[in-house]
Structure 1
Amino acid sequence: MEPDPEVGQRVKELRERAGLSRERLASLTGVSATLIKFVERGTRRLTLDTARKISDVLGVRDLGELYGPDVRLSLDGRLPTHPGVPDVRRALTAWPVRVDGEPPSAAYLEGALDAAWRTWHTSRQQRSETGAILPGLIDTTQRATRLLDGEERRSALASLAEVYHLGQAFLAWHGDRELMWLCVDRGMQASLESDDPLSIGRSVWYAAHLLRAVGRADEGLERLHEAEQLVEPLVADGPAQAAAQLADLHLCAALTKARTGDQSAWAEWNKAREIVHRALPADYVDPRTRVGRTLVDVYAVMCAVDLGDPEEAQRRAHALDPQSIPSTERRARHYVELARSADLEGSLEATLHLLQRAQAVSPETIRYSPIAREIAGRLASQSGAAIREDAVELARTLNASPE
């Protein structure tokens, strides 16, 4: 197959849309910057292996986006799908056209939502347990917004937005981007209809995470800045959730900038840290996102890894006790980030050990993490004899194909 300049131009446009330099794309994918340059200039062909490696970072879900409309091959099939996804999909598309009976109170909905989020953050099998709850929670909350009125309806709409946020968290890493966009759009519409600034700000936070994942970082940062302006006036005299949400917005901006190699990510992180230390009690933990002093430190590790600085990541992680992270799911993801850092340094033994720690904390978190599965697949094929058996066993457990 001869090199195709049009393919190279598509790669360049997608890379630039994602706000990535060639060097940054190379560091995130393991593909050399020189090869990326040659592909973009049309002097080297884009192999299927390279296309698969860059697709996740560029937000590509079908190879037609790279090779042109004559090629149609979805990449979503690479990701494992939780057995609870079909039931959640049906709940999201089964609109309550006709409703009757006594509606649940707004207080009941908030309590049910608290319990669902508590399950997400405390269970080792959070997708299985939350997936069993979500369909009924979606139906009940949708019906409540039809049956309630006045302030109770506004409160129910804010709860409905959070149900969709939980749905987005559940669906992450399963490859069905259409369902995730449905959750984002439904959540935003419910928040806007509730006319609650904190609900709107939270919906923007979830939307920005998805915008970053599909290579639209600039749009995500614009929406985050708008939400910061909406929420910031509420911090001085408002509830603790206002300060927590403002910190969350800055942390999301920090992670978005770090992903594109922008060192100003640390300025955003510092703003979040200052807000948390100034405006929140030392032991505060947000019931939804778990933001607080410990999670701010977790984000510092994530930013350092995304900026390609494993030494800084390890320095930040050294003072952070993983057991203090107030979420099983976030603790497992923290170990995956540390594994990424070790992988950047080429330490296969440390990488394997950290992935095994993540597996011990939450099997489902690592089972559905694309990054963990990609690293595990490489370890299985690249490890020396001393750790190969354990690496192959981990890859088998995660159903990760050795590269």
Structure 2
Amino acid sequence: MTSQQQPTPGQRVERLRRAAGLSRERLANLSGLSATTVKFIENGRRSLTLRAAQQLAPQLGVRDLGDLFGPSVSLSLDGRASHPAVHEVRRALTAWHIVLDGEPESIDYLRGAIDSAWQTWHTSRHQRTAAGDVLPGLLDTTQRAARLHSGDERRASLALLAQAYHLAQAYLAWHGDRELVWLTVDRGMAAALDADDPLAIAQASWYAAHLLRAVGRGDEALERLREARGLIEPRVAEGGTEWAEMLADLHLCAALTRARTGDQGAWSDWDAARLVVDRALPDGFVGLRTRVSRPLVDVYAIMCAVDLGDPDEAQRRAHTLDPATIPSTERRGRHYVELARSADLEGAREATLHLLGRADATSPETVRFSPAAQEMVTRLCHEAPAAIRGEALDLARRIGTTD
């Protein structure tokens, strides 16, 4: 068989799935992917990424990923874009303050520093560079405070330390070592538990769920989110906006987690989040750290529709959402990437490229470090019509995507 006759990676997945006696739905459930994702990989509408291959391989009895990609495909372990500040963030995460002296920063100072860092994350067009600049010092300062304070001030400083770890997780998610991301999750949860603060514990559970979902452990993510809702729900009526904000965010995370596995029950969680925002939060409310708001609820609806493989529903919901109302530059950039994914599902190359260009104009680092955006740009460079291929190559050069 010549190289031109070699089966595609998608065809290889389908053959192995059938040989194993698995339906697409069963393979999806076992691997932590959605049934739609498996379908699109098999029919060539979505590329087989290294991450998806790693999730599928054990279920298909594959020990060598070459059995999925074939002999004509080379895999580089050095192609993942990284950020220059990762080294300093790693140093701050793995430094231990064994001997400490001096006075810790006040709780008010720590809270202001944390809030300022999150505000910068959501308003800067280059949020990863901005976060990379402040994270090492922020981690050092909050770690020292958690060691040097005592009593209620120590508990408050531990809750703020958890927030510093959460920001580090957001920074590292797309370009840090996976072990470092796990470290931020574990440290964030440990700090929240030591603070004995239900709100901090729920926030740490939210961040843990995102990572669990990303590595195919969706059932565990949903269980952690369910436990966190149990901490928050009894306190929403009397606790004020931050408790309602947290409850809505937990439901949104559950909705996206279900959607990623092809579970239509995602819409039930999404509806629950929408009701909390509509009934318990004032008009115009925007959460400081996760940007919970009415526009963000709409953004999640589009993300769920895309992950459920329903581009028509995604476009219907996107029709009434003005991206300018999304209260975060970073989330607005990701929104354009989601719209590009919807167009990509329909094979609309021109629309996909246009939307990726809008994402790049909004938040260049979101496109540069988003695995989904990088994959789409790479495919456009090879598959787009000649009339727009030059534009795709220009975008690839801007974001540093390599062939």
Task: Tell me the TM-score normalized by structure 1.
Answer: 0.88
Question: After superposition, what is the alpha-carbon deviation per residue over 1:160-191, rounded to whole angstroms, capped at 9, x for unaligned?
Answer: 00000000000011151100000000000000
* Alignment-mate amino acid for residue 294 of structure 1: P
Q: Which amino acid aligns with 1:86?
A: H
Match of 2:50 among 51, 55, 71: 55
Q: Please state how far the C-alpha of 1:78 moved relative to its aligned partner.
A: 2.9
Mapped pair 1:26 → 2:21: no
Quote the residue 2:341 is aligned against: 340
Any unmatched runs of 5+ in structure 2?
1-5, 7-11, 67-73
- In the superposition, relative to structure 1, how do residues 139 and 62 fare at CA in structure 2: closer, same or farther (>3 Å)? farther
**Secondary structure class of the residue paired with 2:239:** coil
Q: Distance in 2 between matches of 1:70 and 1:271?
A: 41
User: Runs of 5+ in structure 1 lacking a partner?
Assistant: 36-49
C-alpha offsets along residues 45-79 of structure 1, whole Å, 9 cap, x if unaligned? xxxxx9x824324665999x9753899x9975331
Distance 1:68 1:240 in 2: 50
Shift in alpha-carbon separation, 1:106–1:320, aligned structure 2, 3 A: same
Q: Deviations over 1:58-114 (max 9, x none)?
A: 665999x9753899x997533101000000000000111111101111111000000
Residue 355 of structure 1 corresponds to 356
Partner of 1:388: 389
- Write out aligned runs for 1:1-400 (5 A): 15-20=28-33, 23-27=36-40, 30-32=41-43, 53-57=48-52, 60=55, 67-68=62-63, 77-400=78-401
Question: Is the 1:59–1:213 Cα contact (8 Å) retained in structure 2?
Answer: no
Question: Conserved in 2, the CA contact under 8 Å of 1:109 and 1:156?
Answer: yes
**CA–CA separation in structure 2 for the residues paired with 1:77 and 1:217:** 28
Shift of 1:233: 0.7
Q: Secondary structure at the match of 2:243?
A: helix
Q: What is the number of residues matched between the two proteins?
A: 382
Q: 1:211 to 1:199 in 2, by over 3 A?
A: same
* Deviation string, structure 1 residues 1-39 (Cα, Å, up to 9, x no partner): 9x9989x87x99985434446554233xx3339x9xxxx
Letter in 1 for 2:151: G
Query: Residue by residue, what CA displacement relative to the aligned partner does 1:255-312 show, whole Å, maximum 9, x if unpaired?
Result: 0001111111000000000000000001111100001111001101100111111111
How much has 1:389 moved relative to structure 2? Answer: 1.1
| TM value normalised by structure 2 | 0.88
Query: Aligned AA for 1:310?
Result: P
Q: What corresponds to 1:43 in structure 2?
A: none
Percent identity for Structure 1 against Structure 2: 58
Distance 1:368 1:112 in 2: 25
Cα distance in 1 between the residues matched to 2:52 and 2:318: 25
1:219-250, Cα deviation, whole Å (9 max, x unpaired): 10011111111110110000211000000000
- Contact 1:88 1:131 (C-alpha < 8 Å) held by counterparts: yes
Report the counterpart of residue 71 of structure 2 in structure 1: none
SS at match of 1:101: coil
Q: Which amino acid letter does the alignment assign opposite residue 379 of structure 2?
A: R
RMSD: 2.9
Partner SS state of residue 77, structure 1: coil
Cα distance change on mapping 1:231 and 1:325 into 2, 3 Å? same
Deviation at 1:382, TM superposition (A): 1.1
Amino acid at match of 2:281: L
Residues 88 and 134 in structure 1, CA contact (< 8 A), matched pair in contact too: yes
- Tell me which amino acid in the other structure corresponds to 2:290: T
The aligned amino acid for 1:278 is: R
